[in-house]
Amino acid sequence: MSEHWHIGVIGGSGLAAGIGLDDAQDIAVSSPFGEPSAVVTTGRLGGVRLTFLPRHGAGHHIPPGAINYRANIDVLKRCRVTDVIALSAVGSLDETMQPGHFVAVDQFIDRTMGRENSFFGPGLVAHVSLADPVCPRLAAALADAAEGEDAVAHRGGTYVAIEGPQFSTRAESRMYRGWGGQVIGMTAMPEARLAREAELPYALLGMVTDYDSWREGDEADVAAILDVMHRNVALAHRVVRRFAAALPKSRPPSPIDRALDHAVMTAADARDPALAARLLAVAGRVLG
């Protein structure tokens, strides 16, 4: 693993444009898992390379359930990113996590359905640990950066990932609160699962836009959500810049860099060669 940081950033389609990257380039990267959401934008911020990928594509034309999460993570791995940070709008299931606040998520409850949630499959089986799905040092660095920009940042929170594209019913929203969910969104899964399979440390900074629909008189209103998002775009840019500036000059190894060490179960002589070839970027380190 490289001793230098190369941060993959997954977020909105306008995120890279406002960061102020040096030597920015748009690059089309292909994946054996299909088409990624968009071309990547790569460049430098100070001494750190960042590569941006808009999750919903240019102009936000891909709904959550149609995002090719496997291709997106595979493309970032092919770009040789060392770590991935994600920025997402989230609804709040917790009174203390108010619109305008940031939440450095540390856990997930996955309620998505029918999405391709693994790079592995028949012919090449692997099981990675997902007990702690978020990289703690990335999450802490994102929270530090948000607080450094005078934002309220909650350190830890359970993200309920729903299929969408509709928002929750009131009954669902209240059920998720009863489960211990604190924020809710539609895109973190299987993104976080796939990042772990690709041995990429991952952290998500959620920007709270609304209270979902669990409170009487409240509902997830798109106009209100967009208003909060637009008012915080510049803040999100500053947070990413501060995050990059605060990274140590060299990157210490992470245990997640070796998440596949004991995960592959299929014997070498029983592996599907076609699937093994598709996994070259993601798992080539352990497949030989």
In angstroms, the CA 114 to CA 65 distance is: 8
The total of other beta-carbon atoms located within 10 Å of residue 135's CB is 23
Task: Using the CB atoms, write b or e for 20-48: b if 16+ within 10 Å.
Answer: ebeebeeeebebbbeebbbbbbbbebeeb
Question: Token pair 């076609």 is at which residue?
Answer: 274
| DSSP 3-state of 125 | coil
User: Going by DSSP bridges, is the β-strand pair 40-45/22-27 parallel, antiparallel, or unpaired?
Assistant: antiparallel
Q: Which of 74, 94, 106, 210 is catalytic?
A: 210
Q: By C-alpha distance, which of 22, 23, 53 is closest to 38?
A: 53
User: Is 227 known to be catalytic?
Assistant: no
User: Is 110 known to be catalytic?
Assistant: no
Q: Which of 94, 150, 212, 218 is catalytic?
A: 212
Q: What residues form DSSP beta bridges with 208?
A: 90
Phi then psi for residue 76, to 5 deg, are -65, -40
Catalytic site residues? 210, 212
